[in-house]
Every structure is written in structure tokens, then in C-alpha cells.
Amino acid sequence: MGGHSPASSRGSRWPTRTRFRARLSYLARLEQAQLEAQEAPDEPPGLEARALCELAPEHWPDARFRLAASLRVVHCSHDVAPCVRAVALGEKPPLPRRSRADSLVVRAAGLVVTDALDPRGADALRALIRGASFAEACAAAGGDESAEPAVVALVQASRAGAVVALSRAPWADRGEASAHAGVFFPDA
């Protein structure tokens, strides 16, 4: 944050010391997630978003996904991602505004990607990280009407390289795994 510390913020847009500490803690939380993503173990190439389209509609509720070890979903009550992005680009950081801000952080192709997430999509992605089925992830995001934000977050994670494979595919025992070639990932 350079010269934007509390001591040098007189006359600046940075808030008083107490509010500054809250915003600083969210900056630290996001940057910690970026460091953890950078240091996470390497993963095989992730599933492309179009591979998710190959999953038959009747299999979505029971589907579970293996997500990259580098994936982090960060929740902040201040939108600090634009500040972090500006600093990384050598620009003057904007004042983080107070609003729920969830971010997807993952390392893909050697680069750490940080992207904004819809709050309900972030809730669904957190559930998927814990190993929930897609239906359980939708419930965590607010019920049946939350399928769309859950799908959007999953596609967003897939595009960032964070969806490694389908895991625990219940239809595999019924001889249907070949219909999902390249998508099924057997549990070890």
C-alpha cells in the first residue's frame, strides 16, 4: 500500500484508523489467498467448461467435482480486489468500498487468477470445495432457484482451470462412464 498508511493518510481518501484496519485485514485476506494459491501443489489440466456441458441433466444433482488444490474462495465485507489489482498494475489504488465481495483465487498455467464471484455462486463453490454434490451446493447457495449462480460459478472456476475433474460419478457403476469419456475421475 506504500504511502497510503494511516500515518501518511491525512487529507487523503483513506478512512480513519479503525476503518483502515478493517479494510487492511480484508486486503491481507485476499493477498494471503493469492500466496496460498501460488504455493499450492500443481494439478493436471482442468476440465474445460464445454466438458461440463456433456454432463446429462439428470446427473447434475448427484455430480461432485474435484477442484484444484490452489482454489480459494475469499469473502470480504469490503471490495478490496480492485485495490489489489491497481497496486499490481502500478496504479493508484481506489478506496475499497463496503459491500459483500467474494473472489475466486486460483493458479492456472503458472499465474494466479483473481476474479469476482456472485455471492450465491461463491456459497455454492464453497460447498463444492467441501465435497458437496451439485444439488447440495445449490441448497447452500439458497435452494433450487440457485442453480444458475452455482452453474455460473462452476463454469467460471472451470475457465480459470480450477475444476480438475468430476468425482464420485454415481452413474459410473451403471456402465455409463464411457458416455462421459474424459470427464469421469475415479476416486482414489
pLDDT tens digits along 113-171: 888 899 999 999 999 999 999 999 999 988 766 688 999 999 999 998 899 988 755 54
In the structure grid, which three cell numbers stand for residue 122, read together?
461463491
**CA distances to 14, 123, 130, 147 from 61, in Å:** 46, 16, 16, 10
What pLDDT shows up at residue 158?
Answer: 92
- This prediction's pTM: 0.75
Greatest distance between any 2 Cα atoms in the chain: 69
Question: Average pLDDT in the 63-79 region?
Answer: 91
Element housing 122 (H / E): helix 119-129
What pLDDT shows up at residue 146?
Answer: 67
Q: Is residue 54 predicted with pLDDT exceeding 70?
A: yes
Question: Average pLDDT in the 2-28 region?
Answer: 57
